Amino acid sequence: MTTSSTVGLPTTIEEVDRHWLTQALRESRTIGPHARVSSVEAQRIALETGFSSELYRLRLTGDETVPSSVVVKLPTTTAVRQAMDLVAGYSRELAFYERVAGRAPLGTPKAHVARMAETGTDFVLVLEDLGDWENTDHLTGLPFDRARQCIAALADLHAWSTRPENAEHIAVFPDLDGPVTREVFPALFDEGWRVYREHARTAIPASISTFAARFADHTATALRTLTERRWLVHGDIRADNLFFRDDRLAVVDFQLASLAAGPADIGYLVSQGLTTAERGGRDEQLLREYLDRLADAGVTDYGFDEAWRHYRVAVAFFLLFPVIAIRGWELLPARARELLLSLVERAVAAIEDIEALEVFA
């Protein structure tokens, strides 16, 4: 995706200065044609949770139409950049803001500016600042009622994506079963699993060890199963990507948006976004509520048995994400290590609770 502009594309936060912001916000009609940003103060945020991009909160001063603050998102400068380029993560996110946000019934921050280089994968997002919304601590986990609220919103998004009139808006997103997911991720999982075993705080059940040892084989089964339906899913629906204000929800980070069965989102959210105690074995209850919401939104050909199979596969397969992230153990801050260990432990507990590995037998 490319977006024309009379100002260049910044590659560092220093280049997102008052001159660049003035012109970019004028072009997006966020501010008036004669308004200007007079000063910018940048602060790095999400250092322990945002691994795939660099995020900054910018405090702005200027004319009365200038927002008091915005959030700016730029590509990461770490080794994760290579992985994001492989999965086209940055272009997916910009495509979501361009084609889906504002059309689909899912709250998101307003994108003031969304631009990508004509060649390469440099990009910039200037987003509405949700700093005064409630953002759940991923380590603490989602409260049960907040999870239900998010599941309802995801059901609305998934149902929206099934409607023929929206086919053109989701056509740019890849299937979850893509060559990188199928061929590259299993090798990364193997590396991460070796690191996890070195640092695991609890005994690893034998069934999980066996599953992990054959993860590459199981990946093909999981991806084939999860793409039996091709709905637009968020793909990385973590607790720290959710912002709440009263009964409103806004979701961020669409770099892994893809086409798959809806329980790909639900299984990941419930198994890792909630602590084991908060989940409390209520997986089936939450999935049935999801199906009721889907039916209310017009999806009436998706029964519990099919959804439960997709859910169980998703819970097992998305053990992948924290295990891949834990590969960088030596460079991770203490809190990030704690988070990743906790996410693996939650996922393992969920896999056992719902006997998810039976689906791979």
pLDDT of res. 119: 86
Nearest to 96 by CA among 169, 44, 36, 156: 169
The answer on pLDDT for 348 being more than 70 is yes
pLDDT, averaged across the chain: 94
Six token digits for residue 131:
């700093």
Residue whose tokens read 């949700």: 130
Six token digits for residue 352:
């056992």
The answer on pLDDT for 5 being more than 60 is no
**Cβ distance 136 to 144 under 8 Å?**
no
Read off the pTM: 0.93
Vertex 52 angle, CA 181 and 326, to 5°? 70
The answer on pLDDT for 276 being more than 80 is yes
pLDDT of res. 83: 77
pLDDT of res. 7: 66
> How far is the C-alpha of 121 from the C-alpha of 287, rounded, in Å?
37
Tell me the Cα Rg of the chain.
20
What average pLDDT does range 280-308 have in this prediction?
98
The answer on pLDDT for 3 being more than 50 is no
Between 77 and 148, residue with greater pLDDT: 148
Domains with residue ranges and CATH for the chain: 13-128 (3.30.200.20), 134-360 (3.90.1200)
HEC-encoded secondary structure of the chain: CCCCCCCCCCCCHHHCCHHHHHHHHHHCCCCCCCCCEEEEEEEEECCCCCCCEEEEEEEEEECCCCCCEEEEEEECCCCHHHHHHHCCHHHHHHHHHHHCCCCCCCCCCCEEEEEECCCCCCEEEEEECCCCCEECCCCCCCCHHHHHHHHHHHHHHHHHHHCHHHHHHHCCCCECCCHHHHHHHHHHHHHHHHHHHHHCCCCCCHHHHHHHHCHHHHHHHHHHHHCCCCEEECCCCCHHHEEEECCEEEECCCCCCEEECCHHHHHHHHHHHCCHHHHCCCHHHHHHHHHHHHHHCCCCCCCHHHHHHHHHHHHHHCCHHHHHHHHHHHHCCHHHHHHHHHHHHHHHHHHHHCCHHHHHC
**Cβ distance 211 to 186 under 8 Å?**
no
> pLDDT tens for residues 35-59?
999 999 999 997 766 568 899 999 9
What average pLDDT does range 74-88 have in this prediction?
82
pLDDT of res. 51: 62
